[in-house]
Structure 1
């Protein structure tokens, strides 16, 4: 990896992944509550599409470049369409506003835009729209939280440091041709452009961004109806002039804002809500009794791992790390503590991505006898200090892991260090961690690159293990610079195999989410979106018996 590589300051999922659970709730007409059968027997689609209402937590922001959490992103993904979208089944990049794109070197990209796209207020969308939006997002005066996703764009540093007013690497060649120039080859650019930070905004947004945020004008399948009613709801109607393919099915979406997810669960039971996409853990054991067949589970890209401080001598032998991983019965912990609501990780790349593979982690298989032999022969430490962030529900499962280590490896003494998340990261920043530690990572856009590069390549700000492997770094660089998607995918998989052999982290599990829904919802149309923790409501069909 070149020394010139910029560290991408990308957010650790941490405690927020578990805390920010999204779901959906629905209008009470026609809902039969628990014990439903999916709402499909003898039912017909609602004429015109109907109204689906959806549980949501209160968003922090509704400006695309400032949205970094799922509560806001879920709404924005329906109000906006970017240059590129992710296919809802394969997660591969497909046309959005851009009909096509091409590159010869993965550094300079040319996007050909469709000519029929407009914002909900009728303003046309051209290449200059994206130039203006991207420049506004990266302008330090606008303090947008997602500005760092533009770090690879040529001229980013000059804008951030105040030497330039515009990005050198974003150019409108003509009304419908956009050119993006990067500072280094980056083949996953189309995947990254699916992220909310790259959604286009109309000129009116820049005139009064605070007013705009209360009623965002987008170009997506749905347009906001009225204003964001804080702590109450956000409503949107289907945009009948949507220029893209696959317009929304429901006529109207109502995101109703709840402060208590258990209340939302009971409202779905009562037929007052249509859909809740994250069932509370304490309710998982009663799903069949409460909802019959009206529930479905999905794996996500939210990845939990136990990392090693490789700057500590006792963890530098890979066999020590292998043994600690093999001594963990992940399924036992998932069943006993999470009621089965996690999926044991046998890979680093989430399985739903094109590069994802199940069962590629040899040392993730529970084998206590082999683990004990390996740990003893490698001279594994007899005392450990284990670290995790407090206040996020990690105490019980971390203790279960350490109990298994003591039982299966004969470790004599294990202590715990638990800190608030900000202090916890400070400890990592100063390399003051002396033992295995819990962290998480979630992918903001569907790419194998994002699942690995920010936390494992040399010198990255989120590489808290201190892992450094030249072959791995080179493979990531080669994959990033290879414009052929199939060849890049193979390189990312090779890089993953190095991680699973060297094991700077122990893969624990990928979070799974269970959706419950009323009889008004055709359960066959419920699916997750882009590997995140929310559903594409625009695809959901409502039915009436």
Structure 2
């Protein structure tokens, strides 16, 4: 198996005059992390082309993308105010060269003066003012609008009492001021998220047309339009103003509905990188690929969600029983060759805020589960949902078999759809039974591990969960300037989730990445958000 190396992201001067931001590390890839990709192997002249598996994105507008398939592409097309240093998981300069704050509530960002969009439009502080106000405008219905809910003036815009947020101000062309409703230490980390990427003026003229060929300011620019269910191709943007440009000249994300087909295509050399090989291939990956594979531990959290808007799942004892009836380790051993970590947390264990032993109902106890389920009047018929073509069929079926065996469930029906359609079904609250979903940290914070999925009304709160005590703890932790005190609050909030169990924790994922002979395996790196950084890949053959 390959040792893993990557280029070190250059870090610029960042002035933070208040308490240190709550920046918590998550696991990265295995192997060695030193060195420079450019030294790992002799790359082809000009950088070459790298192709990678992807699923069909749901959206390609930054403020509307809440899933990995689209956000992975957008990450190459856009650069936000702040980026994440891949070696430390700490915030580092993006468009903003530096930032400072005295109280963690009012923040000043100093922008670089050389940034432009791919069409040549200059990026200024006003660019971010316009973008952020557009994202939160209810008329634009962006899924990530609520990421701005702690910006001063957000609620006034949402309620229709103001056209712009008071808390986002262009002091001059290259000075942006953000004022929050309360102190929020993780702001620089949060600003690395897709929702905060800047958009050019052309986006507002016709957002539907823009989505088919987004004009960004990132390392790569679109080559043609999004070919739905086929591919998205990008070319290196040579005028990118950052310090660490992409290595490949061209990246092609190829859309597959069946991950097995992608695996075989990498094996035959028709595809360069598959970042999530199917679980059933773990036992044969070495014979299939030799040294052309690598394992990465990630923050990726897999769970079985429960639609609390359905009456049969509103009794917490039903939810507890469903969880206790699952033998996670048996499924991991049988299907994943032991490569996943059974989840007894909501917060990834790599983050120090994760509680220890909080999940009383994550232990396998089929007898207690059966008794609890019967007493609570749990449903005897279940429809179980999962996204198709991504290797989930076997383990979801294994869960259903355990439920039938341990809980006396008589009839199970499976509903599987491609990912974009699957999310649309969640958005419309048309899920009627347990569903498979996952969550990865777009920035390394316990706040992000919980708030977007479980806070009342959050865009990714597909369970429709609501608990006032939980919401209050999250808000208090977000406002806390002392990292240790905030960590304690996040842990308390996690304990509430594990008691209420709107989702059943399954495991934290280990990703198996396979690649062709055309690329240098030592240049492949997957971050804690499960993004494989294609901009760092060294192409050795054309």
Q: What is the total number of aligned residue pairs between the two structures?
A: 492
Matched, 1:385 2:372: no
- Rg (Cα) greater in structure: 1
Query: Does the 8 A contact of 2:104 with 2:185 survive in 1?
Result: yes
Among 61, 64, 68, which residue is 1:63 paired with?
A: 61
Q: Deviations over 1:373-398 (max 9, x none)?
A: 7997x998386327554364778656
Q: Deviations over 1:139-165 (max 9, x none)?
A: 344443433333333323333343332
Task: Tell me the equivalent position of 1:50.
Answer: 48
Q: Give the TM-score normalised by structure 1.
A: 0.75
Q: Give the TM-score normalised by structure 2.
A: 0.75
The aligned runs of 1:79-478 (5 Å cut-off) are 79-298=77-296, 299-305=298-304, 325=323, 328-338=326-336, 340=338, 342-352=340-350, 354-355=351-352, 360-361=357-358, 363=360, 366=363, 368=365, 381=375, 384-385=378-379, 387=382, 389-390=384-385, 392=387, 397=395, 400-401=398-399, 437-438=434-435, 440-443=437-440, 445-446=442-443, 447-456=445-454, 462=461, 464=463, 468=467, 470=469, 472-478=470-476
Q: Distance in 1 between matches of 2:451 and 2:129?
A: 27
Query: Does the 8 A contact of 2:301 with 2:439 survive in 1?
Result: yes
Call closer, same or farther: CA 1:485–1:239 in 2, change over 3 Å: farther
Task: Tell me the equivalent position of 2:532.
Answer: 535
Cα-Cα RMSD: 4.1
Pick which of 491-500 and 521-530 moved more: 491-500
Query: Does the 8 A contact of 1:307 with 1:439 survive in 2?
Result: no
Instruction: Structure 1 unaligned segments of length 5 or more: list them.
Output: 1-38
Instruction: Structure 2 unaligned segments of length 5 or more: list them.
Output: 1-36, 417-421
3-state SS, counterpart of residue 155 of structure 2: helix
Q: Deviations over 1:447-484 (max 9, x none)?
A: 311222345457868384867473x5544222100234
Call closer, same or farther: CA 1:139–1:49 in 2, change over 3 Å: same
Query: Does the 8 A contact of 2:384 with 2:412 survive in 1?
Result: no
Task: Tell me the equivalent position of 1:3.
Answer: none
3-state SS, counterpart of residue 345 of structure 2: coil
Per the TM alignment, residue 216 of structure 1 is displaced from its structure 2 partner at its CA by 2.5
Per the TM alignment, residue 509 of structure 1 is displaced from its structure 2 partner at its CA by 1.6
Q: Distance in 1 between matches of 2:397 and 2:219?
A: 46
3-state SS, counterpart of residue 375 of structure 2: coil
Q: Deviations over 1:276-310 (max 9, x none)?
A: 11223454443122112212233342430466979
Pick which of 416-425 and 67-76 moved more: 416-425
3-state SS, counterpart of residue 156 of structure 2: helix
Query: Does the 8 A contact of 2:343 with 2:362 survive in 1?
Result: no
Q: Distance in 2 between matches of 1:71 and 1:423?
A: 17
Query: Does the 8 A contact of 1:467 with 1:504 survive in 2?
Result: no
3-state SS, counterpart of residue 118 of structure 2: coil
3-state SS, counterpart of residue 169 of structure 2: strand
Per the TM alignment, residue 439 of structure 1 is displaced from its structure 2 partner at its CA by 5.5
Call closer, same or farther: CA 1:44–1:307 in 2, change over 3 Å: same
Q: Distance in 2 between matches of 1:497 and 1:417?
A: 32
Call closer, same or farther: CA 1:165–1:224 in 2, change over 3 Å: same
Q: Deviations over 1:518-539 (max 9, x none)?
A: 122222222224514x311012
